[in-house]
Amino acid sequence: MSSSYLIIMAGGIGSRFWPFSRTSHPKQFHDVLGTGRSMLQLTMDRFAGICPPENVFVVTNRDYTQLVHEHLPELPLDQILGEPIGRNTAPCIAYACYRIAQRDPQATVIVSPADHAVLREDEFRRLINIAVDAARKNDVLITLGIQPSRPDTGYGYIQFVDDGEHSLPGGQLHKVKTFTEKPNLELAKVFMESGDFLWNSGLFVWRVDVIMQAFRNYLSDISEVFEEGAAQLGTSDEEKFISEAYSRCRNISIDYGVMEKADNVYVLPADFGWSDVGTWDSLHRIGQHDDNGNMVNGDVMLYDTSGCVIKTPSERLVVIQGLEDFIVAEYDNVLLICKRDQEQRVKDFVADVKAKKGNGYN
């Protein structure tokens, strides 16, 4: 039986989570949920019993390789793969999969972002094991689709065929019909009501030989780059090769480059308390609330305040009166106070700060 490997994608900056998530210290390295563990550490913890540390690879920006090692000291530096530049998820996944294929050409691979939250971990592990078993036995590309709980416009959607005839043996994995990127609210409501759409979680499972064939079929420019230099992976020439390889790879996501085009894509419907924790509002949604609906992390005293998400340094006492549905977030010399329903403007704030104050705050 082929071994299971895990690829953790940990290269993003997460600018919608500013001022916590910064270029020098992105959100995957923060204890966002107030558990005492960073998002990256929680991701690693989640796969305990599924993938041993020796089969875990983290792909990140070269600037963060030391940070990854500090957070996951159990991982040898050889398993922390540094990207010279961000090129979206397709080159990132290709790099790790070609590296794993050298070690185990029949490996079953799970791909997970480093900055997602899972509230029901036992159910998560149960479903991942179902997907791993299906990927071992079938030449398929599997994605986990989350049962939508609201018509959210911030997620991509997956439509599946629910007729038994297009399911894998066992009946839990369904053939994917379409992928739709972030829809408008009206369309999101239609998707929600139809019952055959799921949120795209960004969690994937496949055998390494199957995904490599998919790269050859749909992203041949990327597969050619990695096949040319495959012999240099795992050697002292790897860093030099990857620098050159990434300069030749286009910026493209695995969803757009492969999953939307392939005809062997299946989805496993899942409900395990998932959130991509992409925004302050999503943190409010999954966090622990006080009696007035506030999610608080810090030394805070509240008066006449409700529906807020407040995350401030533990060494600073914060007193708040009269706020309703606000974000109050302070980190590293930046304080953000913003209405929760205006959080999409955070990216604009970051751009303005960079333009007017320089790079010290972004």
Confidence band of 170 (pLDDT split at 50, 70, 90): low
| pLDDT at residue 277, rounded to an integer | 81
pLDDT tens track for 97-150: 999 999 999 999 999 999 899 999 999 999 999 999 999 999 999 999 988 877
R_g over Cα of the chain: 21
Tell me the Ramachandran region of residue 358: left when phi exceeds 0, alpha when psi lies from -120 to 50, beta otherwise: left
In whole angstroms, what is the distance from residue 197 CA to residue 158 CA? 5
pTM: 0.92
Token pair listed for 332: 């590293």
- For the cut 90, the answer to whether the pLDDT of residue 318 exceeds it is yes
In whole angstroms, what is the distance from residue 183 CA to residue 1 CA? 41
Q: Which range has the worst mean pLDDT, 1-5, 156-160, 166-170, 188-192?
A: 166-170
- Whether residue 90 contacts residue 222, with contact meaning beta carbons closer than 8 Å, is answered with yes
Averaged over 147-174, what is the pLDDT? 74
- Whether residue 128 contacts residue 111, with contact meaning beta carbons closer than 8 Å, is answered with no
In one-letter notation, the amino acid at residue 94 is A
Single out the residue of 23, 12, 13, 62 nearest to residue 359, CA to CA: 23
- For the cut 90, the answer to whether the pLDDT of residue 191 exceeds it is no
| pLDDT at residue 171, rounded to an integer | 65
| pLDDT at residue 189, rounded to an integer | 80
- For the cut 90, the answer to whether the pLDDT of residue 71 exceeds it is yes
Confidence band of 279 (pLDDT split at 50, 70, 90): confident
pLDDT tens track for 232-254: 998 899 999 999 999 999 999 99
Beta bridge partners of 274: 118
Tell me the Ramachandran region of residue 17: left when phi exceeds 0, alpha when psi lies from -120 to 50, beta otherwise: alpha
- Whether residue 272 contacts residue 120, with contact meaning beta carbons closer than 8 Å, is answered with yes
What is residue 198's three-state secondary structure? strand
Single out the residue of 106, 166, 160 nearest to residue 136, CA to CA: 106
What is residue 295's three-state secondary structure? strand
Averaged over 58-77, what is the pLDDT? 95
| pLDDT at residue 282, rounded to an integer | 84
Beta bridge partners of 309: 295, 327
Averaged over 31-60, what is the pLDDT? 93
| pLDDT at residue 165, rounded to an integer | 59
Quick one: how far is CA 51 from the chain centroid?
18
Token pair listed for 201: 């979680």
pLDDT tens track for 284-317: 888 889 999 999 999 999 999 999 999 999 899 9
In whole angstroms, what is the distance from residue 143 CA to residue 145 CA? 6
